[in-house]
A and B are shown apart, each in its own frame.
Chain A
């Protein structure tokens, strides 16, 4: 490598670190710094407030309960659809992944319609106030119905890698299906379960939309909603208190990480999809149809019921009255053609998600190439730049972006700050997707090209790109989808004119106009599901990750 290229490489690495790690460091720094020196004053201010302590406790309760709920749901699902002869297994595999791509706050809005204590549809059907969504249980329920997919995806991939001969051996020795599951399969996929469980914990602790919509009306707060409150109304002091609270949220995420690693799980957040060898599926016998009913029930609760509720609500003139003449398109007309913020939100979110995905795919490809190539190596700094923002709660990342980009380069309130935030948060998806493909590619192909006199550029274009495109496209979608519906960071970072679909929907539901919110939710849902369908065609691996 020439000296020039080497310098460029260092420059790129440091630029990446500034975009991704610096904001997090800055939050930690600001949380202990005042103009007069180092201090723990902000922490004192944050933790002498009983409401913040309660919020911390609530965050732990919600996160732990969601992990338990999500894991208990996900493991049987993964096992049933991948290892047994349950009818419709292929369909179920895809349907059960839908909550992976839909933003959870849409689920929150749907469940508010379904289970609010006075006029929720379910309560009315039951004739009594059986369910109360405005509660901790409500938060855990909705969060769990979305985040089970993390454990589910990890288990699916792990189950496919399990050597079938081990299970066959047990079966031949006379073990029943459950015995095999308990003594062979589960221990083998334990690391994957733990990795998934860690992701659920981190995601639940970092979630903002669901608790803000469901818990706040019941006077319940989590750390993320408290932080949001401080940033929104607290001025400069609020920003410092928020930094201190954020630091504790980060500690919580790191503690979970260490615990998961101790238990032998973490470190493999990602699970490489190996080759699915031909294997016999376990015969469920007379349990076949009950199992089918159970999995259908899950699909009903995660997809059918909420989607139906939100779609019907969006067409109701007076929300909650079930009559044919109460259906109307007026709200669509109003949201699409009268309000100016909806269209702007969609354009902004599309441009941002597109930009972040393209940027992440480009950087991800470069990093993956360097990483997977035996001739080069990546530094620890690069690895941290990619993985730390992913593991860091979005609230902290956003706070850091606000602190970092206010001076001397003022990007606050512009689309750029959102673009950088999305890029930093989701870059690891692109890197992982492409890395896998690079590792599976034989480097001798490249050597052959180079020996034949092809330049680096030609080699990259003719050898690597054609081989890597499916993985790059998959990585692109894995960034595009979460970026499009992002709320947690956006809610702190949007300014005049830079609303995203997430913040438009959030503002409508929580403050301005709940009936219109259902319309925007349906529009987001339609877009996301269309993109998801497209993604499964373009890049079959996108859904498997």
Chain B
């Protein structure tokens, strides 16, 4: 005990205290501008982007705040309410929220030279936001628990009693891609569809990776999930008991925008990053994260069907009318989902 007690004598803790103080003040980073991006892009994609960004923008310190889209939205909304916005750019997968932000006047209009190649339905005519990536929702099954002949062929089929207690999806209150999926499915099949899913005791919790985990472990047999999670798993883990199902009623499009906030203190740096993500280099980095690009000239992610095959007949076509209509009903859709699927009765 003697020497340890000696360790505890005054100079030692004081030294460590100084260390803490030093680490707390060590954020100066030699005059580089800090740009903060709020995003729902996966950590591993961010990890891949970080070195690319460091090389491309040696004068910028790009920081990511990563959460599920709806968590990001809730956070930014409360920052807006408190008039204390720390985000410079947002890049999440809930397109409706951008329309909302735009209408409330929080987005900075910027006609990026790179955005012109993007289809008009995916590009805000006022230039406040633009689709920067194109994830799609499909289905997946656990291949050891579901025989090839038994796989669901359409989203619609998941409402059959055959799938009782066997299905899962994510939580639209947390994940923008699931919110987009709920909006599309309820529009196409009505809320009776979700009533049926509730009868099948669907587990709707967490984000896409949590859903993937439930399918991998066999906790659930089939689920609605983002294609990118499946592609990545298949790629990294050939033995994973996961089979991709492209639904015959069409994939769900999740056009995921990027936008600059009006409140940003570094608009020039933000515009440069905006341009970067829309450039071929940025797009290829995004496709490297197993998402489709909104440009048809960029190759699809490894192991995915060709662009045209996926986007020719989606569950719902993407139009600005649909965007506006869903945006105004956004809270209602969530509430309806919560009472139909999530809340105890």
Give the interface of A toward B (CB within 8 A).
51, 54, 116, 118-119, 216-217, 219-220, 232-233, 235-236, 317-320, 330, 334, 338-341, 351, 354-355, 358, 361, 406, 410, 412-413, 415, 461, 465, 469-470, 472-473, 495-497, 507, 510-515, 537-538
Provide the bound-state CA to CA distance between A295 and B175, in Å. Answer: 45
Residues of B near A119 (CB, < 8 A) are 217-219
Does B86 sit within 8 A of A, measured CB to CB?
yes
Residues of B near A341 (CB, < 8 A) are 43, 66
Nearest residue, chain A, Cβ from B344? A219
Residues of A near B20 (CB, < 8 A) are 351, 354-355, 358
Does B309 sit within 8 A of A, measured CB to CB?
no
Q: Given contacts A219-B342, A340-B43, A465-B10, are A319 and B77 in contact (CB under 8 A)? A: no
Question: Given A318, A351, A472, which contacts B237 in the complex, CB threshold below 8 Å?
Answer: A318
Taking the closest CB of chain A, its distance from the CB of B296, in whole angstroms, is 31
Question: Given B8, B50, B213, which contacts A473 in the complex, CB threshold below 8 Å?
Answer: B8
Q: Is the beta-carbon distance between B13 and A358 smaller than 8 angstroms?
A: yes
Residues of B near A473 (CB, < 8 A) are 5, 8
Residues of B near A495 (CB, < 8 A) are 65, 86
* B contacts with A: majority SS: mixed
Taking the closest CB of chain B, its distance from the CB of A9, in whole angstroms, is 22
Question: Given B1, B36, B43, B220, which contacts A512 in the complex, CB threshold below 8 Å?
Answer: B43
Does B70 sit within 8 A of A, measured CB to CB?
yes
Provide the bound-state CA to CA distance between A440 and B224, in Å. Answer: 65
| Count of chain B residues with a beta carbon within 8 Å of a chain A beta carbon | 57
Residues of A near B23 (CB, < 8 A) are 351
Does B9 sit within 8 A of A, measured CB to CB?
yes
Provide the bound-state CA to CA distance between A338 and B45, in Å. Answer: 9
Q: Is the beta-carbon distance between A515 and B213 smaller than 8 angstroms?
A: yes
Residues of B near A465 (CB, < 8 A) are 9-10
Residues of A near B240 (CB, < 8 A) are 318
**Interface hits, B20-36 → A, CB 8 Å:** 20, 23-24, 36
Provide the bound-state CA to CA distance between A514 and B24, in Å. Answer: 31
Residues of A near B217 (CB, < 8 A) are 119, 318-320
Provide the bound-state CA to CA distance between A318 and B218, in Å. Answer: 10
Residues of A near B342 (CB, < 8 A) are 219
Give the interface of B toward A (CB within 8 A).
1, 4-5, 8-10, 13, 16-17, 20, 23-24, 36, 38, 42-44, 46-47, 50, 63, 65-68, 70-71, 74, 77-78, 81-82, 84, 86, 173-175, 203, 205-207, 209-210, 213, 216-220, 236-237, 239-241, 342-344
18 more contacts with CB within 8 A, not counting A318-B217, A461-B10, A496-B86, are A118-B220, A233-B173, A236-B78, A317-B237, A320-B217, A338-B43, A339-B47, A351-B20, A361-B13, A406-B84, A495-B65, A495-B86, A512-B42, A513-B210, A514-B213, A538-B1, A538-B4, A538-B8
Provide the bound-state CA to CA distance between A292 and B45, in Å. Answer: 52
Nearest residue, chain B, Cβ from A348? B23
Residues of B near A233 (CB, < 8 A) are 70, 74, 173
Q: Is the beta-carbon distance between A338 and B47 smaller than 8 angstroms?
A: yes
Q: Is the beta-carbon distance between B16 and A358 smaller than 8 angstroms?
A: yes
Q: Given contacts A236-B81, A354-B16, A511-B206, are A318 and B10 in contact (CB under 8 A)? A: no
Residues of A near B210 (CB, < 8 A) are 510-514
Residues of B near A496 (CB, < 8 A) are 36, 38, 63, 65, 86
Provide the bound-state CA to CA distance between A467 and B285, in Å. Answer: 61
Interface centre among B36, B74, B220, B241 (most CB of A within 10 A): B74
Residues of A near B82 (CB, < 8 A) are 406
Provide the bound-state CA to CA distance between A317 and B213, in Å. Answer: 11
Provide the bound-state CA to CA distance between A351 and B24, in Å. Answer: 9
Provide the bound-state CA to CA distance between A362 and B182, in Å. Answer: 54
Q: Is the beta-carbon distance between A513 and B173 smaller than 8 angstroms?
A: no
Residues of B near A235 (CB, < 8 A) are 74, 77-78, 81
Q: Is the beta-carbon distance between A340 and B46 smaller than 8 angstroms?
A: yes
Residues of A near B81 (CB, < 8 A) are 235-236
Nearest residue, chain B, Cβ from A320? B217
Q: Given contacts A219-B342, A469-B8, A497-B65, are A511 and B216 in contact (CB under 8 A)? A: no
Taking the closest CB of chain B, its distance from the CB of A342, in whole angstroms, is 9
Q: Is the beta-carbon distance between B209 and A513 smaller than 8 angstroms?
A: yes
Residues of B near A406 (CB, < 8 A) are 82, 84
Q: Given contacts A319-B213, A355-B20, are A472 and B8 in contact (CB under 8 A)? A: yes
Nearest residue, chain B, Cβ from A342? B43
Nearest residue, chain B, Cβ from A134? B203
Question: Given B17, B207, B216, which contacts A319 in the complex, CB threshold below 8 Å?
Answer: B216
Nearest residue, chain B, Cβ from A540? B1
Provide the bound-state CA to CA distance between A220 and B241, in Å. Answer: 31
Can you offer 26 A-B residue contacts whose CB atoms are under 8 A? A54-B344, A118-B219, A119-B217, A217-B203, A217-B205, A233-B173, A235-B74, A235-B78, A236-B81, A317-B239, A318-B216, A334-B44, A338-B43, A338-B44, A338-B47, A339-B44, A351-B20, A358-B13, A358-B16, A495-B86, A512-B68, A512-B207, A512-B209, A513-B213, A514-B210, A514-B213
